[in-house]
Amino acid sequence: MPELPEVENVKRDLAIALKHNPKINQILFNTVRLRTKLDAKINSIVCGMKIWSLIRRAKYILFEVDNGFLLSHLGMSGSWRVQGSNGDKLKHDHILIKLSDGNMLVYHDPRRFGVFEWLPNKVSMSSKWLIHLGPEPFDASEFNTEYLHKKLSVKKNAIKSALLDQKLVAGLGNIYVNEALFLSNISPLRKSFRVTKFESEILVKNIRLVLQKAIDSGGSTIRDYRRGNGNTGNFQNQFKVYGRHGLLCLSCKSKIKSKVIAGRSSFWCPKCQK
Protein backbone atom coordinates (compact mmCIF):
# COMPACT_ATOMS: atom_id res chain seq x y z
CA MET A 1 0.00 0.00 0.00
CA PRO A 2 2.08 2.82 1.20
CA GLU A 3 4.93 4.36 -0.71
CA LEU A 4 7.11 7.26 0.36
CA PRO A 5 4.38 9.97 0.31
CA GLU A 6 1.99 7.87 2.36
CA VAL A 7 4.64 6.92 4.90
CA GLU A 8 5.76 10.55 5.12
CA ASN A 9 2.21 11.65 5.92
CA VAL A 10 1.77 8.95 8.55
CA LYS A 11 5.05 10.03 10.10
CA ARG A 12 4.08 13.72 10.14
CA ASP A 13 0.67 13.04 11.66
CA LEU A 14 2.14 10.80 14.34
CA ALA A 15 4.83 13.37 15.09
CA ILE A 16 2.14 15.95 15.85
CA ALA A 17 0.37 13.55 18.20
CA LEU A 18 3.68 12.69 19.91
CA LYS A 19 5.15 16.19 20.13
CA HIS A 20 5.15 16.25 23.93
CA ASN A 21 7.39 13.15 24.05
CA PRO A 22 5.16 10.77 25.98
CA LYS A 23 6.59 7.72 27.68
CA ILE A 24 5.74 4.21 26.56
CA ASN A 25 3.77 2.56 29.34
CA GLN A 26 3.14 -0.74 27.61
CA ILE A 27 3.30 -2.46 24.22
CA LEU A 28 0.74 -5.19 23.56
CA PHE A 29 0.76 -7.60 20.64
CA ASN A 30 -2.49 -9.18 19.49
CA THR A 31 -0.86 -11.49 16.99
CA VAL A 32 2.23 -13.68 16.93
CA ARG A 33 3.72 -12.37 13.70
CA LEU A 34 3.46 -9.84 10.93
CA ARG A 35 5.93 -10.47 8.08
CA THR A 36 8.39 -11.33 10.81
CA LYS A 37 7.81 -12.66 14.30
CA LEU A 38 6.87 -10.05 16.90
CA ASP A 39 9.41 -10.14 19.73
CA ALA A 40 7.58 -10.28 23.06
CA LYS A 41 10.70 -8.89 24.76
CA ILE A 42 10.17 -5.49 23.12
CA ASN A 43 7.74 -4.46 25.83
CA SER A 44 10.21 -4.99 28.66
CA ILE A 45 12.98 -3.28 26.69
CA VAL A 46 11.21 -0.02 25.84
CA CYS A 47 8.75 0.23 28.73
CA GLY A 48 9.25 3.60 30.44
CA MET A 49 11.22 5.11 27.56
CA LYS A 50 10.23 8.42 25.99
CA ILE A 51 9.49 8.78 22.29
CA TRP A 52 11.82 11.57 21.22
CA SER A 53 11.22 11.83 17.49
CA LEU A 54 9.98 10.13 14.37
CA ILE A 55 12.16 9.49 11.35
CA ARG A 56 11.21 8.26 7.91
CA ARG A 57 13.80 6.33 5.91
CA ALA A 58 12.51 4.95 2.59
CA LYS A 59 9.18 3.34 3.50
CA TYR A 60 10.17 2.74 7.12
CA ILE A 61 9.11 4.75 10.15
CA LEU A 62 11.54 4.86 13.06
CA PHE A 63 10.29 5.79 16.53
CA GLU A 64 13.34 7.17 18.32
CA VAL A 65 13.33 6.19 22.00
CA ASP A 66 15.95 6.47 24.74
CA ASN A 67 18.53 4.01 23.46
CA GLY A 68 17.32 2.79 20.11
CA PHE A 69 14.50 2.76 17.60
CA LEU A 70 11.24 0.96 17.05
CA LEU A 71 11.18 0.22 13.33
CA SER A 72 7.86 -0.01 11.52
CA HIS A 73 7.11 -0.92 7.92
CA LEU A 74 3.50 -0.80 6.76
CA GLY A 75 3.70 -3.53 4.13
CA MET A 76 0.71 -3.39 1.80
CA SER A 77 -2.12 -2.68 4.23
CA GLY A 78 -0.62 -1.34 7.45
CA SER A 79 -1.62 1.87 9.20
CA TRP A 80 -0.99 3.64 12.51
CA ARG A 81 -3.60 5.68 14.34
CA VAL A 82 -3.68 7.57 17.61
CA GLN A 83 -6.65 7.18 19.90
CA GLY A 84 -7.68 7.49 23.52
CA SER A 85 -7.09 4.37 25.59
CA ASN A 86 -10.82 3.61 25.55
CA GLY A 87 -11.12 4.05 21.77
CA ASP A 88 -12.45 1.56 19.25
CA LYS A 89 -10.95 -1.89 19.00
CA LEU A 90 -10.95 -3.09 15.39
CA LYS A 91 -10.31 -6.45 13.81
CA HIS A 92 -6.65 -6.56 12.65
CA ASP A 93 -5.42 -4.15 15.34
CA HIS A 94 -2.17 -6.03 15.97
CA ILE A 95 -0.03 -3.68 18.06
CA LEU A 96 -1.12 -1.35 20.87
CA ILE A 97 1.35 1.12 22.35
CA LYS A 98 -0.06 2.67 25.52
CA LEU A 99 1.40 6.09 26.28
CA SER A 100 1.82 8.09 29.49
CA ASP A 101 -0.43 10.88 28.15
CA GLY A 102 -3.44 8.56 28.01
CA ASN A 103 -3.25 8.07 24.27
CA MET A 104 -2.59 4.83 22.47
CA LEU A 105 -0.81 4.16 19.17
CA VAL A 106 -2.59 1.40 17.27
CA TYR A 107 -1.12 -0.57 14.38
CA HIS A 108 -3.75 -2.01 12.05
CA ASP A 109 -2.79 -4.36 9.21
CA PRO A 110 -5.24 -6.83 7.61
CA ARG A 111 -2.67 -8.55 5.41
CA ARG A 112 0.07 -8.56 8.05
CA PHE A 113 2.86 -7.83 5.56
CA GLY A 114 4.22 -5.14 7.87
CA VAL A 115 7.29 -5.26 10.10
CA PHE A 116 7.77 -4.11 13.70
CA GLU A 117 11.16 -4.62 15.29
CA TRP A 118 13.43 -3.23 17.98
CA LEU A 119 16.75 -1.74 16.83
CA PRO A 120 19.16 -0.92 19.66
CA ASN A 121 21.39 2.10 19.02
CA LYS A 122 24.44 0.03 18.20
CA VAL A 123 22.51 -1.74 15.44
CA SER A 124 20.04 0.87 14.17
CA MET A 125 21.19 2.17 10.79
CA SER A 126 23.28 -0.89 10.04
CA SER A 127 20.34 -3.22 10.56
CA LYS A 128 19.48 -5.52 7.70
CA TRP A 129 16.33 -3.50 7.03
CA LEU A 130 18.15 -0.26 6.36
CA ILE A 131 21.70 -1.09 5.35
CA HIS A 132 21.01 -1.86 1.68
CA LEU A 133 18.66 1.02 0.98
CA GLY A 134 19.56 3.41 -1.81
CA PRO A 135 19.46 7.20 -1.53
CA GLU A 136 16.39 9.19 -0.61
CA PRO A 137 14.82 10.75 -3.74
CA PHE A 138 14.94 14.24 -2.21
CA ASP A 139 18.63 13.98 -1.27
CA ALA A 140 20.13 15.92 -4.19
CA SER A 141 23.69 15.21 -3.11
CA GLU A 142 23.20 11.45 -3.53
CA PHE A 143 20.24 11.09 -5.87
CA ASN A 144 20.93 13.12 -8.98
CA THR A 145 21.38 12.84 -12.74
CA GLU A 146 24.91 11.45 -12.55
CA TYR A 147 24.03 8.85 -9.96
CA LEU A 148 20.89 7.63 -11.71
CA HIS A 149 22.39 7.50 -15.17
CA LYS A 150 25.46 5.65 -13.94
CA LYS A 151 23.33 3.06 -12.15
CA LEU A 152 20.93 2.60 -15.05
CA SER A 153 23.69 2.35 -17.64
CA VAL A 154 24.75 -1.09 -16.38
CA LYS A 155 21.29 -2.56 -15.85
CA LYS A 156 19.66 -4.77 -18.45
CA ASN A 157 16.25 -4.96 -16.82
CA ALA A 158 13.22 -2.81 -17.59
CA ILE A 159 13.35 0.72 -16.20
CA LYS A 160 10.11 -0.09 -14.36
CA SER A 161 11.87 -2.87 -12.42
CA ALA A 162 14.95 -0.76 -11.77
CA LEU A 163 13.00 2.07 -10.17
CA LEU A 164 11.09 -0.34 -7.93
CA ASP A 165 14.40 -1.63 -6.57
CA GLN A 166 14.86 -0.01 -3.15
CA LYS A 167 18.63 -0.42 -3.47
CA LEU A 168 18.68 1.95 -6.45
CA VAL A 169 16.45 4.62 -4.96
CA ALA A 170 14.47 4.27 -1.75
CA GLY A 171 10.78 4.94 -1.34
CA LEU A 172 9.27 4.51 -4.79
CA GLY A 173 6.56 1.92 -5.28
CA ASN A 174 4.29 0.83 -8.08
CA ILE A 175 2.09 3.93 -8.28
CA TYR A 176 4.78 6.57 -8.32
CA VAL A 177 7.06 4.68 -10.70
CA ASN A 178 4.19 4.50 -13.20
CA GLU A 179 3.45 8.18 -12.75
CA ALA A 180 7.06 9.37 -12.90
CA LEU A 181 7.71 7.40 -16.09
CA PHE A 182 4.64 8.94 -17.72
CA LEU A 183 5.76 12.45 -16.82
CA SER A 184 9.17 11.63 -18.29
CA ASN A 185 7.85 10.13 -21.56
CA ILE A 186 9.71 6.88 -20.89
CA SER A 187 8.06 3.50 -21.48
CA PRO A 188 8.16 1.17 -18.45
CA LEU A 189 9.39 -1.54 -20.83
CA ARG A 190 12.51 0.39 -21.89
CA LYS A 191 15.77 -1.30 -20.93
CA SER A 192 17.41 0.67 -18.16
CA PHE A 193 20.71 1.08 -20.01
CA ARG A 194 18.86 2.75 -22.88
CA VAL A 195 17.78 5.67 -20.67
CA THR A 196 19.99 8.60 -21.68
CA LYS A 197 21.69 11.02 -19.35
CA PHE A 198 19.29 13.74 -20.43
CA GLU A 199 16.34 11.47 -19.68
CA SER A 200 17.88 10.60 -16.32
CA GLU A 201 17.82 14.28 -15.49
CA ILE A 202 14.15 14.51 -16.47
CA LEU A 203 13.42 11.38 -14.47
CA VAL A 204 15.08 12.67 -11.32
CA LYS A 205 13.11 15.88 -11.61
CA ASN A 206 9.79 14.10 -12.18
CA ILE A 207 10.32 11.55 -9.42
CA ARG A 208 10.73 14.44 -6.99
CA LEU A 209 7.80 16.32 -8.54
CA VAL A 210 5.32 13.47 -8.30
CA LEU A 211 6.42 12.51 -4.79
CA GLN A 212 6.19 16.11 -3.58
CA LYS A 213 2.72 16.59 -5.07
CA ALA A 214 1.57 13.34 -3.51
CA ILE A 215 2.98 14.32 -0.11
CA ASP A 216 1.21 17.67 -0.36
CA SER A 217 -2.06 15.89 -1.20
CA GLY A 218 -1.79 13.65 1.84
CA GLY A 219 -0.76 10.58 -0.20
CA SER A 220 -2.92 8.25 -2.29
CA THR A 221 -5.76 6.19 -0.85
CA ILE A 222 -6.70 3.21 -3.03
CA ARG A 223 -8.45 1.21 -0.34
CA ASP A 224 -6.67 0.70 2.98
CA TYR A 225 -4.41 3.66 3.39
CA ARG A 226 -5.17 6.07 6.19
CA ARG A 227 -3.04 8.90 7.45
CA GLY A 228 -1.92 8.96 11.06
CA ASN A 229 -4.86 11.26 11.77
CA GLY A 230 -7.35 8.83 10.23
CA ASN A 231 -7.96 10.83 7.05
CA THR A 232 -7.60 9.49 3.53
CA GLY A 233 -5.19 10.95 1.00
CA ASN A 234 -6.25 12.75 -2.18
CA PHE A 235 -3.52 12.12 -4.72
CA GLN A 236 -5.42 9.17 -6.26
CA ASN A 237 -7.55 11.80 -8.01
CA GLN A 238 -4.48 13.11 -9.80
CA PHE A 239 -3.18 9.87 -11.30
CA LYS A 240 -2.25 10.32 -14.95
CA VAL A 241 -1.84 6.61 -15.77
CA TYR A 242 -2.03 4.40 -12.68
CA GLY A 243 -5.26 2.38 -12.76
CA ARG A 244 -6.38 4.08 -15.99
CA HIS A 245 -6.13 1.05 -18.31
CA GLY A 246 -8.27 1.59 -21.42
CA LEU A 247 -8.96 5.23 -20.58
CA LEU A 248 -7.65 8.08 -22.71
CA CYS A 249 -4.24 9.63 -22.17
CA LEU A 250 -4.74 13.05 -20.63
CA SER A 251 -2.04 14.39 -22.91
CA CYS A 252 -2.67 12.84 -26.36
CA LYS A 253 -5.99 10.92 -26.06
CA SER A 254 -4.41 7.55 -26.91
CA LYS A 255 -5.65 4.56 -24.93
CA ILE A 256 -3.62 3.82 -21.81
CA LYS A 257 -2.03 0.38 -21.98
CA SER A 258 -1.57 -2.06 -19.13
CA LYS A 259 0.74 -5.01 -18.66
CA VAL A 260 2.37 -6.89 -15.81
CA ILE A 261 6.07 -5.99 -15.60
CA ALA A 262 8.24 -7.41 -12.84
CA GLY A 263 5.11 -8.88 -11.30
CA ARG A 264 3.38 -5.53 -10.95
CA SER A 265 0.63 -3.90 -12.99
CA SER A 266 2.07 -1.22 -15.20
CA PHE A 267 0.22 1.54 -17.00
CA TRP A 268 1.52 3.77 -19.74
CA CYS A 269 0.62 5.74 -22.85
CA PRO A 270 2.09 3.97 -25.90
CA LYS A 271 2.25 7.22 -27.84
CA CYS A 272 3.70 9.57 -25.22
CA GLN A 273 6.10 7.04 -23.67
CA LYS A 274 8.82 5.45 -25.79
Partner DNA sequence: CTGAGCTCCTGGGAGC
Partner DNA sequence: TGCTCCCAGGAGCTCA
Site residues for DNA per CB under 7 A: 1-3, 6, 35, 58-59, 73, 75-77, 91-92, 110-113, 129, 132, 154-158, 161, 166, 173-175, 192, 220-225, 262-265
Q: CB of 102: closest distance to DNA in angstroms?
A: 29
Tell me the closest approach of the beta carbon of residue 75 to DNA, in angstroms: 5
Nearer to DNA, 68 or 114 (CB): 114
Query: Alpha-carbon torsion 63, 64, 65, 70, what sign?
Result: positive
Pick from 101, 53, 59, 55: which is nearest to 78 by CA? 59
In the bound state with DNA, the residue whose beta carbon lies nearer, of 30 and 103, is 30
What is the spatial distance between Cα 55 and Cα 76, in angstroms, rounded to a whole number?
20
Contact yes or no for 1/12 (Cβ under 8 A)? no
**241's torsion region: left (phi>0), alpha (psi -120 to 50) or beta?**
alpha
Question: CB neighbours (10 Å) of residue 234?
Answer: 14
Residue spans of beta strands (DSSP E) within 45-109: 53-57, 60-65, 68-73, 79-84, 93-99, 103-108
**Spatial contact of 228 and 12, defined as CB atoms under 8 Å apart:** yes
- Judged by beta carbon, residue 155 or residue 205, the one nearer DNA is 155
Taking the complex as a whole, how short is the minimal distance between the CB of residue 191 and DNA, in angstroms? Answer: 9
Least distance to DNA, CB of residue 176, Å: 8
Whose Cβ is closer to DNA: residue 99's or residue 164's?
Answer: 164
Which positions are annotated as active-site residues?
2-3, 59, 264
